[in-house]
A = this chain, B = another copy of it.
Amino acid sequence: MEFKKIIEEKSKQAWEIYLPNLSIDCVVFGFHDALVKVLVVKMKENNLWALPGGYILKTENIKEAASRILHQRTGVTNIYLQQFRVFSDLNRSEGFFEAFENTIWNKQRFLSVGFYALVDFSTVKLVVDNFSDACEWKAIDELPELMMDHQYIFDKALGTLRKELNYKPIGFNLLPEKFTMPELQKLYEIILGKKLNRGNFFRKMLRYDILIKLDESRKGGAHKAPDLYKFDVEKYQLALKDGLNEGW
């Protein structure tokens, strides 16, 4: 079925089941190969890249909507989700759907609630839905051009992540269960957008007392195998309540 037909059929149903004027856009972060990556989908209609998004059922709160959308569009379930900002400018979606009747669902003014999600990269199996040609991970410093205000939404999500690094279990949700200190440091460096001193980082992390050193090391490298750690979840949560406030 051609794209226009799909949109027109979906439109009728959409007015019945979704809250009008509202959408959700998700910035899904993963950590892989020492890079922080973000999920983007390529829209069939215009060949543009976009953040995965959707609408809010009349029977859902926004977090339920975001979970459902991410499950449907990316195949991931049960992931760490936080709303971070509403995007409400009047001209956000100008120019899209011009070829359609004014009564079409997609041609409304949409206020979009931005969510960021943190996923353990290794557990994600991506799916491509009806509206998109592709669903891919892209490194955050190599994002393709994004449609509408999605680059701005991404920027705000990354800014939020940066501020919340000391208050939310970001490391816990992005890293696999076992990780090395250099991996943890790399994650912090990418999110904070700056190099950190290795010794200082190590000492601060140990002082927060939120890591458990395992009796294993990461095999396979050319260098001395680095020690593996995991988070002490209880202590981590407790420390985040006050904030990891020493600065990095």
Contacts and interface: CB of A to CB of B under 8 A. Distances in A.
Interface of A: 19-22, 56, 58-63, 83, 85-86, 88-90, 109, 111, 113, 163-164, 167, 243, 245-248
Q: Give the interface SS of chain A, mostly helix, strand, loop or mixed.
A: loop
Contacts of A85: 83
Nearest to A65: B88
12 contacts: A19-B21, A19-B109, A20-B20, A21-B21, A22-B111, A61-B89, A83-B85, A163-B164, A163-B167, A163-B243, A245-B247, A246-B246
A58 B109 contact: yes
A83 B163 CA distance: 16
A21 B109 CA distance: 13
Contacts of A247: 243, 245-247
A192 to B, nearest CB: 10
A62 B111 contact: yes
Nearest to A58: B109
Given A83-B85, A83-B86, A85-B83, A19 B111 contact: yes
Interface centre among A59, A86, A109, A248 (most CB of B within 10 A): A86
A62 B86 contact: yes
A193 to B, nearest CB: 11
A111 B61 CA distance: 9
Contacts of A19: 21, 109, 111
Contact of A88 (B62, B89, B163, B248): B62
Nearest to A108: B19
**Which 9 pairs, one residue from A and one from B, show the smallest C-beta to C-beta distance?**
A245-B247, A62-B88, A61-B88, A19-B21, A61-B89, A86-B113, A62-B86, A163-B167, A83-B86
A20 to B, nearest CB: 6
Contacts of A164: 163
A25 to B, nearest CB: 13
Contacts of A63: 88
Nearest to A89: B61
Contacts of A163: 163-164, 167, 243
A83 B243 CA distance: 22
Contacts of A248: 245
Contacts of A246: 245-247
